[in-house]
Amino acid sequence: MNASSRRLILASTSPFREELLARLSLDFETASPHVDETRRGKESATELVRRLSEAKARAIGTTQPGLIIGSDQVATLGDTILGKPGSHEYAMEQLRLLSGNAVIFQTGLCLLDSENESLQVDVVPFTVYFRELDEKQIDRYLRHDRPYNCAGSFKSEGLGITLFERMEGDDPTALIGLPLIRLTTMLEKAGVSLP
């Protein structure tokens, strides 16, 4: 079977990841992986996203044949892993911490061929430098974008871009949660022709 015609499954229900993958003009499905995302012991951010991206791909690959894409992302400020805020108050607290600082996003990416168990896994970093933000700016932003389910309390694909002084990295799509440049290389290695 031609690899380009094989079933491609995104192990995620994130609308942001789905929108990014659609840019590659490939037919794909999405599936929700049920994975415990709890950090294990003193696991580093890189170890955490590598493990979770693989776990998400494997969770879908155990029952569905094809090429399975798993991805996970965390934001770090120094040695601190920033989670999803979940509330306005916690998002305010996070953005106060990020004001004037550099935040590194680690995005884990896994491509699993569930038919032969071949696995490609990588972690793609991306750094965001935040402007100095005051309380009113933070509050206005949060009330506009409501990024309470986003690591770091912002959406770069929305008004969150106004919070930045600059960005640094090899793949801007890594910041949104699915590094397409690295994924393209993985898919080509698996026999998928792009474009």
pLDDT digits (tens, 9 = 90+) for 142-160: 999 999 988 889 988 889 9
Model pTM above 0.85 = yes
Rounded CA-CA distance 11/34 in Å is: 9
Q: Do the beta carbons of residue 12 and residue 56 sit within 8 Å?
A: yes
pLDDT digits (tens, 9 = 90+) for 26-48: 999 999 999 998 899 999 999 99
Query: Which letter, b or e, does each residue of 4-16 get, where b requires 16 or more Cβ atoms within 10 Å of its Cβ?
Result: eebebbbbbebeb
Tokens 């108050």 — which residue? Answer: 89
Beta bridge partners of 67: 8, 113
**Does the pLDDT value for residue 1 go beyond 80?**
no
Q: Which residue segments constitute the domains of the chain, with CATH numbers given?
A: 3-189 (3.90.950.10)
* DSSP letters spanning 101-137: SEEEEEEEEEEEETTTTEEEEEEEEEEEEEPP--HHH
Residues annotated as catalytic (active site), given as ranges: 72
Rounded CA-CA distance 160/25 in Å is: 27
pLDDT digits (tens, 9 = 90+) for 181-195: 999 999 999 999 898
